[in-house]
Amino acid sequence: MITLLLHLLRLLPFLCGGHRQLALENLALRQQLAVYKRTMTRPRLRTADRFFWVGLARVWAGWRQPLVIVTPDTVLRWQRHRFREYWTKLSGRPAVGRPPVNAQIKALVTQMAAANPLWGAPRIHGELLKLGIDVAERTVSRLLPKRRTPPSQSWRTFLTNHVRDLVSIDFFTVPTAGLRVLFVLVVLAHDRRRVLHFNVTEHPTAPWTAQQIVDAFPEDSAPSYLLRDRDKIYGPRSDRE
């Protein structure tokens, strides 16, 4: 830094005279040479070096031409960083992030949720306000323990577990040589893929279909689950479907 001041004093007459452009360029080159002399491999810039180039960029439009130790974008980044630090300190901006929640409040929310499984974040938030604890409802929701609900049974699992109790019914059509269409009802057991019952009619109705189910499962042999589609031929849909 002392060497740089000596160079500046030497070039002072040129700065005041008619060779201002040449003097500034000479000063920039000398400063970079001083940096190179301080290191053997990679030049290490100090805070004073950064201030020098930031200040030089403000007073000299041709500062990019003699710059060789760093890129011009680096000097501009130094200036932006200095600008951010200045205004951060000036505005007194607090640290980034929300303030931490008191550990006692965390423990109380966890205890209330465990003692009252049906309470949600709004109810617990209201109870905390009654106790004089001022905390946001969103914070309470974030502090609630995650309840893991058991996974629902998939359709494949249901079929695997109840294949012995599953029976399906369905119609298919058969065109005849007399240009008639016959409807064939098939009752199929899924455990062995066995045809338990079938019948043929030309005019299927809901009562006729219901009678076929009765004929297919006499006495107490009715299955636990009967699979069918939503065709009106089976009768009107019930609320349990």
Strands 194-201 and 225-227: unpaired
Q: Is the pLDDT of residue 81 over 80?
A: yes
Q: What is the pLDDT of residue 149?
A: 65
- Kindly report the average pLDDT of the chain as a whole number: 79
The pLDDT value recorded for residue 62 is 81
> Which tens digit of pLDDT belongs to each residue from 33-74?
777 666 656 667 788 887 887 888 888 888 777 776 777 888
**Domain residue extents for the chain:** 2-91, 103-143, 159-234
* Whole-prediction pTM: 0.36
The C-alpha atoms of residue 62 and residue 49 are separated, in whole angstroms, by 18
pLDDT band at 184 (very low <50, low <70, confident <90, very high): very high
Query: How much of the chain exceeds pLDDT 90, in percent?
Result: 10
User: Residue 94 pLDDT more than 70?
Assistant: no
Q: From CA 30, how far away is CA 35, in angstroms rounded?
A: 9
pLDDT tens column, 187-217: 998 888 889 899 999 999 989 998 998 888 8
- How high is the pLDDT of residue 200? 94
What number of other Cβ atoms are within 10 A of residue 104's Cβ?
9
Give the per-residue pLDDT at 239: 46
DSSP-assigned beta bridge partners for residue 166: 225
Higher model confidence: residue 24 or residue 5?
Answer: 24
Measure the CA–CA gap between 129 and 135, rounded to whole angstroms.
Answer: 8
Compute the distance between CA of residue 201 and CA of residue 126 in angstroms, rounded to an integer.
67
The per-residue pLDDT for 173 is 92
> Per-residue pLDDT for 156 more than 70?
yes
Tell me: pLDDT of 161 over 60: yes
Q: What is the pLDDT of residues 110-140, one digit of tens each?
A: 899 888 888 888 999 999 988 888 888 888 9
pLDDT for residue 182 is more than 90: yes
Mean pLDDT, residues 152-162 taken together:
80
CA distance 173 to 178: 14
